Amino acid sequence: MKTLVLANQKGGVGKSAVATLLAHYLAQQGQRVLALDFDHQGNLTQPLARSGRTVQAPFGTGQLMAEAGHKLASSSFCLVPASLELLTLERQPARHNEFANRLLDFLVWHDARFDVCLVDTNPNPDIRLVSALACADHVLSPIQLNQEALDGVHFLLNHPRVGLRKLQAVLNPKLNLIGLLPTMVETTPFQKANWIQLVQHHPSLMIRIGDGPGQYAALPRRASVAEAQASGEVLWEMKKTAARDAWREFEPSLRHIAGVVTTSGVGHGLAA
Ligand SMILES: Nc1ncnc2c1ncn2[C@@H]1O[C@H](COP(=O)(O)OP(=O)(O)O)[C@@H](O)[C@H]1O
Ligand SMILES: [Mg+2]
């Protein structure tokens, strides 16, 4: 099982939407998928639960971290939902190692049962995010093309507690940064200028999906994504033509990312 964590300390950048799309996409490809929602807001839990495609664990991710002995029923598409206990974990620093180790034990225990574990995270730089990144094989960072987000890339890599370079150096040398995934991309001059800035300043963090100029993974802003998140429908199965058109635009990026996670070896480390 390969573990992919969606992480960015900014909220509202598309982490949960990308996690939901990837979960359905990987499941449709025949991968056995385990989805863990570490954000108490439950923006991965709700769409997956509403989709009716997942078997939901009788415990939440808060209990998974705080209590021993949680095991999943047999299914090829499982969801461990967000729970309010998540909010209590950070306040128990003496138990932080225990929480991280329990998550690791849980993943090791289920290693042969699933092909991919997808972890959606909260924006706070707390023990949930540290634990998820400490256990991960891959991390993907959705990002919006606004100035604040671009300024945040340095923090994303170098934050003293949850910076990806720092975590890789101190806690998890195997962590592979797949890269930055611009989401909600619009063809405005402002976003185009920010895109150019991102490519210039962080070329090695962009995710190449083809050899041509500008062929990087990115997801445009499409209303059907928000609709799918709200209704639990699978984007490419929605009746509206707009949703299927959106999926056609999204598919090359998500196919590439799914390929990196399931075959590994591709992608790059964090040294660049
Ligand atoms: N590509 C997209 N196009 C349009 N809306 C999107 C897109 N990606 C996400 N959204 C919407 O934007 C909001 C924030 O996205 P979300 O995935 O919840 O962000 P995060 O998990 O980083 O906080 C949600 O309402 C979501 O449905
Ligand atoms: Mg979210």
pLDDT digits (tens, 9 = 90+) for 126-176: 999 999 999 999 999 999 998 888 888 988 898 888 899 889 998 999 999
Give the residue whose CA is nearest to atom 15 of ligand 1: 14
State the pLDDT confidence band at 270, using cuts at 50, 70 and 90: low
Task: Give the closest ligand to the alpha carbon of residue 227.
Answer: 1
Label residue 255 left, alpha or beta by phi (over 0 means left) and psi (-120 to 50 means alpha). alpha
pLDDT tens digits for range 191-230: 999 999 999 999 999 999 999 888 999 999 999 999 999 9
| DSSP SS3 for 100 | helix
Say which residues have a Cβ less than 8 Å from residue 197's Cβ, sequence separation at least 6: 150
Q: Which of 183, 185, 178 is nearest to 258 (CA)?
A: 178
Chain centroid to Cα 252, Å, comes to 17
Overall fold of domain 2-263: Rossmann fold (3.40.50)
Q: Does 2 contact ligand 1 (Cβ within 6 A)?
A: no
Greatest Cα pair distance in the chain: 53
pLDDT at 93 over 90: yes
Instruction: Please report, for the chain, the start and end positions of each structural domain, with discontinuous segments joined by +.
Output: 2-263
Residues 219, 18 contacting (CB under 8 angstroms):
yes
Q: Decide: 17 and 120 in contact? Cβ < 8 Å.
A: no
Angle made by CA atoms 248, 254, 258, in degrees to the nearest 5: 140
Dump pLDDT digits (tens) for 110-121: 999 999 999 999
Ligand 1 binding pocket includes 221 (Cβ within 6 Å): yes
Q: What number does the ligand 1 atom closest to the CA of 219 have? A: 1
Residue 254 has pLDDT above 80, yes or no: yes
Ligand nearest to the CA of residue 10, numbered in listed order: 1
For residue 139, list its beta bridge partners. 5, 177
Q: Round the average pLDDT of the chain to a whole number and report it.
A: 93
Average pLDDT over residues 176-194: 95
Contact 41, 19 (CB under 8 A): no
The ligand 1 atom nearest the CA atom of 13: 22
Encode pLDDT of 24-82 as tens digits. Answer: 999 999 999 999 999 999 999 999 999 999 999 999 999 999 999 999 988 999 999 99
Q: Report pLDDT for 272.
A: 44
Report the residue among 21, 43, 50 best suited for mutation to probe ligand 1: largest number of ligand atoms under 8 A from its CB: 43
